[in-house]
Amino acid sequence: MAEIAIKQVAKRFGGFTALHSIDLTIADQEFMVLLGASGCGKTTLLRIVAGLETPSQGEVWIGGRRVDHLPPRERGIAMVFQNYAVFPHLTVFENIAFGLRMKKLPQQEVEGRVNRTAELMHIEQLLKRYSGQLSGGQRQRVAVARALAMEPDVILMDEPLSNLDALLRLEMRAELKGVLAASKTTTIYVTHDQVEAMSLADRIAVMHQGHIVQAASPVEVYRNPAARFVGSFIGNPPMNFILATKAADGSWTVAGLTLPGPKSDKQTIEFAIRPEDVDTGTEGLHATVRVVEPLGPHTLVTCDVEGGLFRAILESNATVAVGDHLRLLPKPDRIRWFDPETTNAL
Amino acid sequence: MHGKALPYLLLTPATLFLCVFFLYPFALVAFEAFTRDGGFTLDNFRTMTSSWKFPVTVRNTLLLSAVVVPIQLVMALLMATMVSRLAAGRSAALYIFAIPLGISDLAAGLIWLAIFDQSGFLNTLLSNLGVIDRPVMFLGYQSKLTIFIAVALAEIWRATAIMMVILVAGMGLIPREYYEAAEVFGASPWKRFIKITLPLLRPSLQTAIILRVILAFEVFAVVAALGGTNLPVLMGETYNWQFTLQDRNVAAAMALFILAISIGFTLFFLRVLRVPKEARI
């Protein structure tokens, strides 16, 4: 059992605040992804959980034990580093065995565990090689095997796939998901790649400027962004935002279309819709087509709506041409509203 | 001018310089070592080895190296580790540690002579403290051990920094991620030093040790200042053959002998501390 609790953790580097009082609880065996652009504090948070960085304030608990004053080796964690950190002077076997040897496990146990994890990661034929004789993907497998061999309560991963080429990344992503689910560890996984986050996570914590903006399941984060930032960061292309003006109480005018919305005493709020959640028809938002990109499964259309850009994903058999005037009707249950000042969802 | 020829052209002056002022005299010395009165002979080597002083000089030189170099290695590793960990003031510490490097070895010998001399600092201090009532002859011909210790101390003081500088540079090349990985996977600071720093520092260790060992075989001025003829070493004996005994052929043979053991130890350390190509950073 290893639940991770991060309580009011903050980190300041001189005058710069990298993390503002973070609270996050990760359930036993949960796969938690920290997602955000570079500089948002996600790696700092992971390193604080690992013990490679000391928090300026707050507490870190792993498995019911307070660990923020303990060195990394006493926290029951294993880690996969962005550049793999596969020791160049040791063979693959000794790399995987490194942590086990530090624990002074008997040789037989070490061999058993190294062989098992090597097999799991499909690197059993590489055990005698050195890091310098491996490809990036193979090094990545060694780094994961080294972490798994520890049979840790918690595995921490710092952008483990970001140095692989696209095809390999896809392959490793699926494999990691299977292997980690089978290992029954609690995982914290840092990435800036939203597709990776969506596909791997039980829960995604979206981070922005040292805050966790939203921590929820991938579908929830995608469908119900808690803040404008989440909607604009997740999804490719991201959500469309249009300013809406009050028509009546609980009714708003958006690009010539009047829609029912939240009650608010503000005069303008922001209307938001995902590109795939609009239909073409005889009524809807007035849009002028600027660019048409047929992408195979669907067609991406970039339009002008009220002087701003608006992206819509239409069926691939839709016949649209540049300069066409369209009416785009948002699906009512997919419309989201944001407060333009706090940027939070309404 | 073609780009391909340019590098060679630029290297020519230095190459010529080395040929004229190093290879040519070296060939002359080698020639002198193997000739006497115009004919090829091994007599010079026979004369050299049959001198009663020869085994003593070999023993003293090797013993001095065997004591000084390991102590210097440990100290240099310690100092380099500390300097590498400094967040601020790193270059200031490096400069201070490196001060003795700027002093010639004769001056270094004289500084330590001023300490151990009959009217030196150490005697003054001890007599002021009332430990002794008359000056002690630390460096007299009867106290070979104190001479040896004094020379070793002076050598350690003088030439540890050169090893440290090389090791600091080497430590800077080891990526921090390896230490973090070792830390996460259970290595204590001592284990990290043994399992990560030392193996990854091997190329620098190799350079530092080879350089230091060669310099230790060439020890001369410090010994001359502190021990005079009471602690004969190889280089001093070479000097002796050349200038006191006026036999340049035997002196040349001695020089070749020093070169030979230097090459021997260099090859030994190249081999022992070799890093296989696939295991490099």
The answer, for A89 touching chain B at a CB cutoff of 8 Å, is yes
Whether residue A159 sits in one domain with residue A66: yes
In a domain, A346, yes or no: no
Given an 8 Å threshold on Cβ–Cβ distance, is A52 in contact with B200?
Answer: no
- pLDDT tens-digit readout, A130-189: 998 998 889 999 999 999 999 999 999 999 888 888 888 888 888 888 888 888 899 999
Closest CA of chain B from A202, distance in Å: 25
pLDDT at residue B2, rounded to an integer = 65
Is the predicted pLDDT of residue A105 greater than 90, yes or no?
Answer: yes
Report helix, strand and coil shares of chain A as percent, to nearest 5.
30, 40, 35
Q: What would the mean pLDDT of B148-160 be, rounded to a whole number?
A: 90
Closest CA of chain A from B190, distance in Å: 12
pLDDT at residue B101, rounded to an integer = 84
Q: What is the CATH number of the domain that holds A229?
A: 3.40.50.300
- pLDDT tens-digit readout, A334-343: 999 998 888 8
Answer for the pair B246, B186: CB distance below 8 angstroms, yes or no: no
CA B228 – CA A265 distance, rounded (Å) = 99
pLDDT at residue A1, rounded to an integer = 64
In a domain, B19, yes or no: no
Tokens for B174? 């080891």
* Number of structural domains in chain B: 1
For residue B178, give the nearest of A72, A79, A87 by CB distance: A87
Average pLDDT, chain A: 90
pLDDT at residue A142, rounded to an integer = 94
B175 to chain A: nearest residue by CA? A85
In chain A, the percentage of residues whose pLDDT exceeds 70 is 100
Whether residue A293 sits in one domain with residue A156: no
For residue A88, give the nearest of B183, B195, B281 by CB distance: B281
Given an 8 Å threshold on Cβ–Cβ distance, is B186 in contact with A88?
Answer: no
Closest CA of chain B from A170, distance in Å: 25
pLDDT at residue B194, rounded to an integer = 93
pLDDT at residue A284, rounded to an integer = 85
Given an 8 Å threshold on Cβ–Cβ distance, is A103 in contact with B200?
Answer: no
**Which of helix, strand or coil describes residue A136?**
helix
B197 to chain A: nearest residue by CA? A89
pLDDT at residue A302, rounded to an integer = 92
Whether residue A127 sits in one domain with residue A108: yes
The residue ranking higher by pLDDT, B279 or B59, is B59
* Number of structural domains in chain A: 2
When scoring A46, A54, A77, A87 by the number of chain B Cβ atoms within 10 A, the one with the most, hence best to mutate, is A87
CA B256 – CA B262 distance, rounded (Å) = 10
**Which of helix, strand or coil describes residue B24?**
helix
Q: Give the CA radius of gyration of chain A.
A: 24
Whether residue A120 sits in one domain with residue A189: yes
In a domain, A224, yes or no: yes
What's the domain range around A294?
A: 240-338
Count Cβ atoms within 10 A of the Cβ of residue A107 and give its class: 0-12 exposed, 13-18 middle, 19 or more buried.
Answer: exposed
pLDDT at residue B1, rounded to an integer = 56
pLDDT at residue A147, rounded to an integer = 93
Q: Can you state the angle between helices B43-50 and B53-85, rounded to 10 degrees?
A: 80
- pLDDT tens-digit readout, B22-49: 899 889 999 999 988 888 888 889 989 8
Given an 8 Å threshold on Cβ–Cβ distance, is A89 in contact with B200?
Answer: yes
**ipTM attached to this prediction:** 0.85
- pLDDT tens-digit readout, A71-90: 999 998 999 999 899 999 99
CA A294 – CA A224 distance, rounded (Å) = 28
In a domain, B10, yes or no: no
What's the domain range around B63?
A: 25-279
Closest CA of chain B from A168, distance in Å: 23
CA A53 – CA A48 distance, rounded (Å) = 5
The answer, for B279 touching chain A at a CB cutoff of 8 Å, is yes
Mean pLDDT lowest among A37-51, A90-104, A316-330: A316-330
Is the predicted pLDDT of residue A18 greater than 60, yes or no?
Answer: yes
CA A324 – CA A343 distance, rounded (Å) = 33
Whether residue A220 sits in one domain with residue A295: no
Residue type (1 letter), A43:
T
Which residues of A fall within a CB distance of 8 Å from B195? 98
Locate the DSSP E strands across A261-297: 268-273, 278-294
In a domain, B15, yes or no: no
Which residues of B fall within a CB distance of 8 Å from A128? none
Count Cβ atoms within 10 A of the Cβ of residue B158 and give its class: 0-12 exposed, 13-18 middle, 19 or more buried.
Answer: buried
Q: What would the mean pLDDT of A61-75 be, rounded to a whole number?
A: 92
- pLDDT tens-digit readout, B236-251: 999 989 998 888 899 9
CA B254 – CA B251 distance, rounded (Å) = 5
Given an 8 Å threshold on Cβ–Cβ distance, is A81 in contact with B196?
Answer: no
Beta carbons within 8 Å of B73's beta carbon, 6+ residues apart: B163, B205, B208, B209, B212
Closest CA of chain A from B181, distance in Å: 6
For residue B184, give the nearest of A73, A129, A132 by CB distance: A73
Given an 8 Å threshold on Cβ–Cβ distance, is A73 in contact with B188?
Answer: yes
The single residue listed with the structure tokens 């380099």 is B80
In a domain, A345, yes or no: no
Given an 8 Å threshold on Cβ–Cβ distance, is A89 in contact with B275?
Answer: yes
**Which of helix, strand or coil describes residue A202?**
coil
Closest CA of chain B from A98, distance in Å: 7
In a domain, B78, yes or no: yes
CA A329 – CA A331 distance, rounded (Å) = 6
Strands B35-36 and B39-40: antiparallel
Whether residue A128 sits in one domain with residue A16: yes
Whether residue A321 sits in one domain with residue A193: no
Q: What would the mean pLDDT of A185-209 be, rounded to a whole number?
A: 92
Whether residue A282 sits in one domain with residue A165: no
Q: What would the mean pLDDT of A178-207 be, rounded to a whole number?
A: 91
In a domain, A93, yes or no: yes
Q: What is the CATH number of the domain that holds B57?
A: 1.10.3720.10
Whether residue A141 sits in one domain with residue A246: no
Q: How confident is the model at residue B226 (pLDDT cuts 50, 70, 90)?
A: confident
Residue A237: is the preceding peptide bond cis (ω within 30°)?
Answer: yes
Which residues of B fall within a CB distance of 8 Å from A131? 279
CA B196 – CA A90 distance, rounded (Å) = 10
Given an 8 Å threshold on Cβ–Cβ distance, is A52 in contact with B183?
Answer: yes
Which residues of A fall within a CB distance of 8 Å from B186? 73, 99, 102-103
B274 to chain A: nearest residue by CA? A89
Query: What is the number of alpha carbons within 13 Å of residue A230 lying toward its C-beta?
Result: 30
In a domain, B9, yes or no: no
What values do phi and psi take at A155, rounded to 5? Answer: -115, 130
Among A234, A308, A244, A307, CA closest to A274: A234
CB pairs under 8 A between A and B: 69
Which residues of B fall within a CB distance of 8 Å from A130? 276, 278-279
Whether residue A332 sits in one domain with residue A257: yes
Which residues of B fall within a CB distance of 8 Å from A99? 185-186
The answer, for B103 touching chain A at a CB cutoff of 8 Å, is no
For residue A81, give the nearest of B181, B199, B279 by CB distance: B181
Answer for the pair A145, A100: CB distance below 8 angstroms, yes or no: no
**Which of helix, strand or coil describes residue A91?**
strand
Residues paired with residue A66 on neighbouring β-strands, in sequence order: A61
